[in-house]
DNA sequence: GGTTTGACCCTAA
DNA sequence: ATTAGGGCCAAAC
C-alpha cells in the first residue's frame, strides 16, 4: 500500500464503498485499511470532514460497534439518524439494527 | 520532538 | 444494563 496516500483519503475511499442502506463500524473500516486497531483514527478522520459537510462522503453510514451512534451532542446524532432512516435503515432500542444493515464484510 | 485530542473498543467491576 | 479504566492510532499543537 502506498504510504504517500494520506490516511484521511484512504478512510474516505473506504467509507465511500459502503453501500446505501448499510452501515459499518469504525473498527471495521480501520480493518479494511489494514489497521485493525485504528478505530479512533477513523473517527478522527471523519471528524475532520466536518467543514466539508461530508457532501462527498457518506459519513453517516459509519457507526460505533453494535450499531451505536457515536456522535455525542448537538445536531450531530439526530442528523445521522435522520440520514440513515431516509435510506431505510432500521433502529432498535436507539441503535442501528446491525444484524440487518451491517456490511457483509 | 513530546503531549494532547478524539464521531473507538475491549475488559472488568 | 451502566461506568471506569486503559490501550489504540493518526493528526494537531
> A42 or A75, which is more confident?
A42
Contact (Cβ atoms closer than 8 angstroms) between residue A78 and residue A71: no
Distance A27 CA to B12 C1' (A): 21
A17 vs A78: CA distance, rounded Å: 23
Tell me the three cell numbers of residue A46: 471523519
For the purposes of burial, counting CB atoms within 10 Å of the CB of A41, is it exposed (0-12), middle (13-18) or buried (19 or more)? middle
Model pTM above 0.75: yes
Nucleotide with smallest C1' distance to residue A7 CA: C10
Q: Is the pLDDT of residue A36 over 80?
A: yes
pLDDT score, position A52: 75
Q: Is the pLDDT of residue A4 over 90?
A: no
- Strand B nucleotides, any atom under 7 Å from protein beta carbons: they are 5-10
pLDDT score, position A100: 93
Amino acid at each position: 500500500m502506498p504510504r504517500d496516500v494520506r490516511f484521511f483519503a484512504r478512510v474516505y475511499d473506504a467509507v465511500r464503498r459502503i453501500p446505501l442502506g448499510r452501515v459499518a463500524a469504525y473498527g471495521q473500516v480501520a480493518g479494511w485499511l489494514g489497521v485493525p486497531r485504528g478505530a479512533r483514527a477513523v473517527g478522527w478522520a471523519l471528524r475532520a470532514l466536518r467543514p466539508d459537510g461530508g457532501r462527498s462522503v457518506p459519513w453517516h453510514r459509519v457507526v460505533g460497534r453494535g450499531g451505536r451512534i457515536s456522535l455525542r451532542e448537538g445536531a450531530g446524532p439526530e442528523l445521522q439518524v435522520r440520514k440513515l432512516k431516509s435510506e431505510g435503515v432500521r433502529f432498535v432500542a436507539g441503535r442501528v439494527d446491525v444484524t440487518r444493515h451491517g456490511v457483509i464484510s
